[in-house]
Amino acid sequence: MASKPWTLGSIRDMNLQLEAACLEPGCGWTAAYDVNKMIAEFGADCELPTGQGGLACEHCGAPVDFGLVAVKKSA
């Protein structure tokens, strides 16, 4: 059974940070995205790309992989 793709809204609701990293060995490009800004531009129902062909590295053009990181909630 295939899992549902992550949406920007579900990432925000679970208090996660969206990060990306280049898959090209030696490149080292990474980025952390402002999920709230992305929701304002693309909508909360926008799905993250899955598999190859989603996004390309801003530095070398190789494929990019996404990761989700737990964010500490402020008091």
Res. 26: pLDDT tops 80: yes
Which residues, listed in sequence order, are joined to residue 66 by a DSSP beta bridge? 20
Q: How far is the C-alpha of 27 from the C-alpha of 10, rounded, in Å?
A: 30
Q: Name the DSSP letter for residue 75.
A: -
Res. 20: pLDDT tops 80: yes
Confidence at residue 53, expressed as pLDDT on a 0 to 100 scale: 60
Determine contact, residues 5/14, Cβ cutoff 8 Å: no
Mean pLDDT of 19-35: 93
Res. 75: pLDDT tops 60: no
Closest-CA residue to 40 (of 71, 6, 12)? 12
